[in-house]
Amino acid sequence: MFQQGMTRRHFMSHAALGSAAVLGATEFLHHLQLNAAEVSKNRKACILVWLGGGAPTIDMWDLKPGSKNGGEFKPISTAGDLQICEHLPSIAKQMDSLSVVRSMSTREADHARGTYFMHTGFVPNPTVVHPTFGSVVSYELGTKRKELEIPAFVSIGGGGMSPGFLGMSHAPFTVDAGGRIQNADMAGVDPNRLGARLSMLETIEDGFIKSNRGGAGQAHKDVYSKAVNLMRSQQMQAFKIDSEKPEVREAYGRGGFGDSLLMARRLVEVGVPFVEVNTLGGWDLHNDVFNTLKTQRLPQLDKGIAALTADLKERGMLNDTVVVCMGEFGRTPRINQNVGRDHWATSWSVLIGGGGLKSGVAIGETDEDGTRIVGDSYLPSDLWSTVAYALKIPLDTVHTSKRGRPMKIAGGGQPIKGLIG
């Protein structure tokens, strides 16, 4: 199928970066001869861990001891050059590989609008649907990975974000935490019949394609061949976490969230460039924030993120894999009468690491009560530009909306200096 959002300028910039153009002939041949393992080593990817509802980052990554807004938790030292919450001890041990941006200021404090803004880098606009960043990565990196037989953007747990003007072929491919994919098997029919069915299908489809009625017939055939490749692909094993050793599964934490992160690692391993994990929800803590964090959310998050970071590092994948952990906004520094925190987009934090970004540091700061950013603040467009930079997607990439409006990648933000240093 033709690619809808490709502009001429975009195409030219890609052509210029094509390997044959910059490498000499010998080098190019050598480049081709690199074995598959070597190629897979340099494949860039991003895992987005989504904390739906808006996590109280003031209690997690940017604590305010001594302030009336400080809450119940104490900060602890970490392996990195910053302190985080005492209820995240395993992550603390991995903090030399991760960083925190403490100066996010993102305007949108409504769930739907914030979710849109943080996923796309664009504020909602009634005239256009912007692509969620996973779709952008699918469009930019997925289409180039010919060896990839499964979709380039997998969402574990779903969440309904749209590929927008990049089109449905870059929509998130949704699975549940058990790795189940709707309609991916023949539901009780002898799988040997698939071959026979496809031969008959080919007879009918080829006739229609030859009848010279435009591109739709061939496009349909191409999609079916992708779907069949997927059904038959060895890469589908990536969804099956049962094959992991019990101690690995234990390390990630038994349950939907641990399973999802483990699956995300397996998917990145086979070449999927973007995985979103949306299976640890319930962060909209207007009530009883400390108790809920301490006993439920943080232990799961701690175990899962720490295991994922350690595992990626051990496998030599962390340098090519960006991990981002955030929700649609932070929560009010002020503690409300229900011992909860409300929506807050003015000053909050995001956890980010891997992908060769600078690690073990805190970027930016908030004032002593956490209500205001001191110094530079960052937008989601800056955050996604940082990710694009780490994934080696050119920052001058421009897509075109269906109405022909040029759209800068990641909302035209600037990579966060302290992270790309």
Partner 1 sequence: MKSIVMTWGICFGLMAVLCQSGMGADQKFSSGSTDPIVQYIDEQIQKTWDENEVKPSPVADDAEWVRRVHLDVVGHVPAGQVVDEFLRDKNPAKRSQLIETLLADPGYVRNFTTYWTNTLIGRVTPEKTNRPALEKFLRESFAKNRPWNEIAYDLLSAEGRFDENGAVNYLLAQLQLNPNSEEYVVEATAKTARIFLGLQVQCTQCHNHPFNDWKQNQFWEFNSFFRQMRREDYEKYNPATGRMDDDYSELLHRDFDGPVYYETRAGLMLVAYPKYFGTEVDPGSETNRRLELAKSITRDDSNKWLARAMVNRMWGHYFAYGFTRPIDDMGPHNPPSHPELLDRLTDEFVTSGYDLKQLSRWICNSEAYNLTSKFNPKNEIDNPANGEVPLFSHMYVKPLQVEQLFDSLLVATEADTAIRDGGASGNYERRQMQQQNWTEQFLRIFGNDEEEPTLYSGTIPQALLMMNGPLVRTAISGEKGSYLYTVMTNPAYKKDPERIRALYLAALGRGPTSTEIKGLQSMMARYPDRLSAFQDLYWALLNSNEFIVNH
d(CA 354, CA 265): 13
The residue among 232 and 315 lying less far from partner 1, judged by its C-beta, is: 232
Segment contacting partner 1 by CB under 8 A, of 14-22, 53-61, 131-139, 200-208? 200-208
| Interaction residues for partner 1, span 366-405 (CB under 8 A) | 402-403
* Short-list 228, 181, 166, CA closest to 397: 166
Length of the chain: 421
The residue among 181 and 270 lying less far from partner 1, judged by its C-beta, is: 181
Residue 367 CB, nearest approach to partner 1 (Å): 30
Residue 66 CB, nearest approach to partner 1 (Å): 38
d(CA 128, CA 108): 18
**Residue of 6, 39, 123, 231 interacting with partner 1 (CB under 8 A):** 231
Residue 181 CB, nearest approach to partner 1 (Å): 8
| Interaction residues for partner 1, span 250-269 (CB under 8 A) | none
* Short-list 371, 409, 403, CA closest to 391: 409
Question: What six digits make up the tokens of 237?
Answer: 């094993």
Residue 209 engages partner 1 in binding (rule: CB under 8 A): yes
The residue among 26 and 203 lying less far from partner 1, judged by its C-beta, is: 203
Question: What is the DSSP pairing of strand 153-156 with strand 98-104?
Answer: unpaired
Residue 243 CB, nearest approach to partner 1 (Å): 23
Residue 408 CB, nearest approach to partner 1 (Å): 18
Give the total of residues touching partner 1 (CB under 8 A): 55
Residue 275 CB, nearest approach to partner 1 (Å): 16
Residue 167 CB, nearest approach to partner 1 (Å): 7
**Residue of 75, 124, 217, 281 interacting with partner 1 (CB under 8 A):** 217
d(CA 303, CA 91): 7
Question: What is the DSSP pairing of strand 330-331 with strand 343-344?
Answer: antiparallel
**Residue of 216, 291, 374, 396 interacting with partner 1 (CB under 8 A):** 216
Segment contacting partner 1 by CB under 8 A, of 213-221, 307-315, 323-331, 348-356? 213-221
Residue 280 CB, nearest approach to partner 1 (Å): 21
Question: What six digits make up the tokens of 63?
Answer: 């604590």
**Residue of 204, 245, 314, 375 interacting with partner 1 (CB under 8 A):** 204
User: What's the burial of 11, exposed, middle or buried (CB within 10 Å: 0-12/13-18/19+)?
Assistant: exposed
Sorted by sequence, the CB contacts under 8 Å of residue 266 that are 6+ apart come out as: 237, 238, 239, 241, 244
Residue 115 CB, nearest approach to partner 1 (Å): 16
The residue among 24 and 126 lying less far from partner 1, judged by its C-beta, is: 126
**Residue of 201, 282, 295, 417 interacting with partner 1 (CB under 8 A):** 201
In the chain, the N- to C-terminal Cα span, in Å, equals 39
Segment contacting partner 1 by CB under 8 A, of 104-112, 218-226, 237-245, 351-359? 218-226
Q: Are 370 and 103 in contact (CB under 8 A)?
A: no
| Interaction residues for partner 1, span 299-338 (CB under 8 A) | none
Give me the 108-137 binding string for partner 1, x by CB under 8 A, dash otherwise: ------------------xx-x--------
d(CA 122, CA 113): 10
Residue at token pair 């779907």: 227
| Interaction residues for partner 1, span 137-196 (CB under 8 A) | 151, 158, 160, 162-163, 165, 167-169, 171, 173-174, 181-187, 193, 196
**CA 284 and chain centroid, separation:** 21
Return residues touching partner 1 (CB under 8 A): 1, 126-127, 129, 151, 158, 160, 162-163, 165, 167-169, 171, 173-174, 181-187, 193, 196-201, 203-205, 207-209, 211-217, 219-224, 226-227, 230-231, 402-403
